[in-house]
Chains A and B, each alone.
Chain A
Amino acid sequence: MRYLPHTQEDITAMLQVTGNKSLEDLFSGIPESCRMTNDWQLPEPKTEWELNDHMQAIAQTMKVDQNFKVLIGAGSYHHHIPETVKALMSRSEFLTAYTPYQPEMAQGTLQGIFEYQTLTARLLGMDVVNASMYDGASALAEALLMGLRIGKKKTKVAVSAAIHPHYRATAAAYLCPTEFELIELPYLEDGRTDLSGLSDLEDVAAVALQSPNFFGVIEDLTGAGQVIHDQQALFITCFSEPLAYGLLKKPGDCGADIVCGEGQSFGLSRSFGGPGLGMFGCKQPFTRNLPGRLVGETTDLDGKRGYVLTLATREQHIRREKATSNICSNQGICAMTAGMYMASLGGTGLRELSRLNYDKTQYLKNALVARGARLFFEAPTFNEFVVEFPQDFQPAHQRLLEQNIVAGLELGGLYPKLKGRYLFGITETTSRQDMDKVADEVQS
């Protein structure tokens, strides 16, 4: 095996030093009753050639492959990834390092994450952003727990029903063993969250909204923030499409106290939903309640600028059961990648790309409406929207599949009330031609 460097001669010499008769002898401390005796159903070891063939054969069974136009976002977006980002994030000095416990040997990771924290904070309008969480869903769960920590004796948190259903499910799983109550706020006819029930609730530590929400609808964050703060609750916003903030108001400017979400759009492939990137930030007063790692700036013995992991007294390896979270490994290289992507876009490019995503989406919306479809929600949207067709869209969906287009996600599985309606997701990678093909199918 090429990864194992030991020759028989090495093994013999080393066993002599350790005083063992054989390699098996090294395990004499393991009781017989604990031993593995089952035969594994593993195939014979594959050479590099055989592995390539095997994986290619599996890849060929993907009916929807990279040649398809998948007009679905729903938390996983197809954006163009520059070659530079792929090449730079693949540098093995970044990729094959561990968490930067020895800062003198990890200044590359540390400065890169510090830059990621800074750019993300600027994007979201937050004072502090951590070094990453696992994904948008677990980030929301952690944000709600953080809200409850800050809310001290309060026992409830409320989340909008227009938050990604998987994020809500994850939050529910995290909160299940606790005494805390998770309340769902309905959405209004225009697709925004209905906050009117909030005033009847007591003891609410935090309220979470997603914007753009699962339906692509841009929430009135400023208005919501006022209502939520009037209830003495913390305002959490989440997102699955960070590109939106290249065009829309930053959640921090709308009064959000904690912002969390999924950063996959920034340079990461869809990869069947992972690895993604949990982005997580807050306003300054809550810094010491943050979950996860933080990189901070400092100086070395010579006064030279450098970076270290800091405020570790919040974390599990120091605080153990009193830690703000149990998270240890995060999504390090994904955060680096997002930093590279944001650096490549720049402020000018970010606005241009966001605008392009918005314009393309509006084009498909208008084209579908012109063919007799109806926008299910009236509120403005970013790069996703829900549409209702004059007749059953399933046959058209099928015909479009044959033209290598996946035309939206039918919502009945996630929202039974929305059965038959479709959620479309459009990015800069969707061409006008493909959108016209979809619109033409509605007409026919």
Chain B
Amino acid sequence: MKNRVGTSGLILDEPLLWEKGKKGRKGMSIPHSDVPSSPLDEELIGAPVDFPDLSEVDVVRHYTRLSQWNFGVDSGMYPLGSCTMKYNPKINEKQAATPQFAAAHPMLDDQYSQGVLQIMYELQNHLADITGLDAVSLQPAAGAHGELTGMLIFNAYHQGHHSKRTKILIPDTAHGTNPASAALCGYRSIPVKSNENGMLDASDVSELMDEETAGIMITNPNTLGLFEGQVRQIAEIVHAKGGLVYGDGANMNAVLGVADMKKCGVDVLHLNLHKTFSTPHGGGGPGAGPVCVTKELEPFLPVPRAYKDGDLYRLELDRKESIGRVHGFHGNFGVLVRAYSYILSMGAEGLLRASQLAVLNANYIREQLKDVFHLPYPQPCMHECVFSDQLQKDYKVTTLDMAKRLIDYGFHPPTIYFPLIVHGAIMIEPTETECKEDIDQFIATMKEIAREAREEPDKVRNAPQLSKVRRLDEVHAARCPCLIGTCTPPEQ
């Protein structure tokens, strides 16, 4: 292989914070006191907190070195399936840091906070447009939080109809958050098997759906990257029994401007702004998981929501049927500003184009790798494609091995071992922001790894070699948890 991206370089080591520093140092400026010191009951005063004292340079070097051990979308291709690791535009960071927005206090009267309310109001409208649904709450702080909000809405709706429902249908391809969110509302998950094509059959749903079932949670496109073609029929079956349809919008990046979620029969849908709408994931968060609903379910949405009253933007603080609050304030507002900026930069045309190219990239990879890796569901995909390690089994090389080998070549591995219905799954989502040359490089690398698996399997099994650490002992980490730094430091 020519022009390999992953090479070894100088990696600087760095101890834990409390293994450096010296008492009496300070890493930040604290203002001089301009007031007299006041007494405080000694009983209330605690022992000093045992933080290391570091200088500003200590802190800057520490975190700079740590950052160099990390890999982000800005470092390279990050085809982590179902996570939509697209480029996070820099201009959006600037907008979120606008001094007026950054300083906005969440408890002031509406008249003093018009700008931030305008952004919320307009974003609500844009997201309603984009999904085809009627009303939006921006409060949920992440996708799973949106799911919980959706389940609370299901519960409120059924209670409003004096209907006691105890179950919920969840396809076997669903993210783990779906059953976990439903369980928080007391719903027992009833799994729906996908058919031999990796999709839901309306007839299976029909057999399982009854009047004790609150509804169904459908990820569409599903986690195999396939559009659930029978979603409308399924929705009709569920609605006929008084149930509701939850749409998990984790994979919306595939269908912007193409699919209308209301027409698909979805009643409640969450979006992941940190996936589809390009906000950075921050190594774990924050995300934002706005919830979009039909007119019929609008009364149940969390409060407050932004609305327009003449020329004034206002917050609706109270609504009788609302499920109430799911967040202390207005959700992850800073994330909302980034998504709003992204939508305005892309426009309708750009969003549609993004989905088209995301789907093109995934199908291009699927087509080029299908002879090298086993493709359990061979039909064309949407924004992601799922392979398995079945062809490499003969050489005793696993999905995990190949994922780790990708690290040595300078790529972030795909999502692995998910969805659960594919044994040894390798779930690749390139997103639209990867160019053809980088995708070709990725394809060539995957082919090279398949060759290595055949001819030099130890190379793959012993990967990664070039990263700061090699494979880590996760069993030990779980058996003897060391979760805070009280353990003895390793010998110098």
Q: Chain A residues with Cβ under 8 A from B363's Cβ? A: 18, 20, 26
Q: Which of A41, A99, A293 contacts B281 (CB 8 A)?
A: A99
Interface string of B339-361 (1 = CB under 8 A from A): 00101111111100110110111
Q: Does A188 contact B (CB under 8 A)?
A: no
Q: A173-B302, A311-B481 are in contact. Are A329 and B286 (CB under 8 A)?
A: yes
Check A300–B30 contact: CB distance below 8 A: no
Q: For residue B476, give the distance in angstroms from its CB to the closest CB of chain A.
A: 5
Q: Does A63 contact B (CB under 8 A)?
A: yes
How far, in angstroms, from A247 to B47 measured CA to CA in the complex?
8
Q: Chain A residues with Cβ under 8 A from B331's Cβ? A: 273-274
Q: Does B239 contact A (CB under 8 A)?
A: no
Check A380–B60 contact: CB distance below 8 A: no
How far, in angstroms, from A169 to B326 measured CA to CA in the complex?
8
Q: Does B412 contact A (CB under 8 A)?
A: yes
Q: Does B196 contact A (CB under 8 A)?
A: no
Interface string of B20-47 (1 = CB under 8 A from A): 0101111111110111111011001111
* CB-nearest residue of chain A to B333: A272
Check B112–A343 contact: CB distance below 8 A: no
Q: A108-B67, A174-B184 are in contact. Are A4 and B350 (CB under 8 A)?
A: yes
Q: Chain A residues with Cβ under 8 A from B59's Cβ? A: 84, 88, 340, 343-344
Q: Does A200 contact B (CB under 8 A)?
A: no
Q: For residue B238, give the distance in angstroms from its CB to the closest CB of chain A.
A: 15
Q: Which of A66, A109, A170, A409 contacts B284 (CB 8 A)?
A: A109
Q: Chain B residues with Cβ under 8 A from A339's Cβ? A: 17
Q: For residue A424, give the distance in angstroms from its CB to the closest CB of chain B.
A: 13
Q: Which of A169, A250, A349 contacts B27 (CB 8 A)?
A: A349
Q: Which of A53-61, A150-158, A190-198 contacts B (4 or more CB under 8 A)?
A: A53-61
Q: Which of A42, A176, A335 contacts B347 (CB 8 A)?
A: A42
Q: Which of B415, B468, B477 contacts A298 (CB 8 A)?
A: B477
Q: Which of B144-152, B203-211, B391-399, B449-457 contacts A (4 or more CB under 8 A)?
A: B144-152
How far, in angstroms, from A427 to B321 measured CA to CA in the complex?
38
Check B98–A93 contact: CB distance below 8 A: no
> Which A138-193 residues sit within 8 Å CB-CB of chain B?
138, 145, 164, 166-167, 169-170, 172-174, 176-179
How far, in angstroms, from A252 to B332 measured CA to CA in the complex?
29
Q: Does B1 contact A (CB under 8 A)?
A: no
Q: Chain B residues with Cβ under 8 A from A275's Cβ? A: 141, 285-286, 332-335
Check B483–A5 contact: CB distance below 8 A: no
> Which B121-169 residues sit within 8 Å CB-CB of chain A?
125-126, 129-130, 132, 141-145, 147-148, 151-152, 155-156
Check B484–A103 contact: CB distance below 8 A: no
Q: Which of A35, A132, A296, A302 contacts B263 (CB 8 A)?
A: A35
Check A299–B472 contact: CB distance below 8 A: yes
Q: Which of A224-232, A317-325, A388-396 contacts B (4 or more CB under 8 A)?
A: A317-325
Q: Does B113 contact A (CB under 8 A)?
A: yes
Q: Chain B residues with Cβ under 8 A from A363's Cβ? A: 35-36, 38
Q: A129-B484, A173-B325 are in contact. Are A333 and B259 (CB under 8 A)?
A: no
Q: For residue B182, give the distance in angstroms from its CB to the closest CB of chain A.
A: 7
How far, in angstroms, from A219 to B17 measured CA to CA in the complex?
32
How far, in angstroms, from A343 to B21 measured CA to CA in the complex?
10
Check B28–A122 contact: CB distance below 8 A: no
Check A329–B101 contact: CB distance below 8 A: no
Q: Does A207 contact B (CB under 8 A)?
A: no
Q: A113-B284, A119-B17 are in contact. Are A134 and B145 (CB under 8 A)?
A: yes
Interface string of B461-483 (1 = CB under 8 A from A): 00010011111111011100111
Check B50–A98 contact: CB distance below 8 A: no
Q: Does A136 contact B (CB under 8 A)?
A: yes
Q: Chain A residues with Cβ under 8 A from B349's Cβ? A: 45
Q: Does B298 contact A (CB under 8 A)?
A: no
How far, in angstroms, from A299 to B479 measured CA to CA in the complex?
13
Q: Chain B residues with Cβ under 8 A from A359's Cβ? A: 33, 35-38
Q: Does A370 contact B (CB under 8 A)?
A: no
Check B227–A30 contact: CB distance below 8 A: yes
Q: Does A387 contact B (CB under 8 A)?
A: no
Q: Which of A52, A55, A98, A362 contacts B283 (CB 8 A)?
A: A98
What are 25 A-B pairs with beta-carbon distances under 8 A?
A: A42-B347, A97-B71, A97-B72, A104-B471, A108-B68, A108-B69, A118-B18, A118-B485, A137-B325, A247-B46, A275-B334, A287-B481, A301-B470, A301-B471, A304-B470, A321-B188, A332-B282, A333-B284, A343-B51, A346-B52, A347-B51, A349-B26, A355-B37, A359-B35, A360-B35
User: 5 extra interchain contacts, Cβ-Cβ under 8 A, other than A176-B155, A250-B49, A287-B483?
Assistant: A6-B435, A43-B344, A84-B56, A173-B152, A359-B33
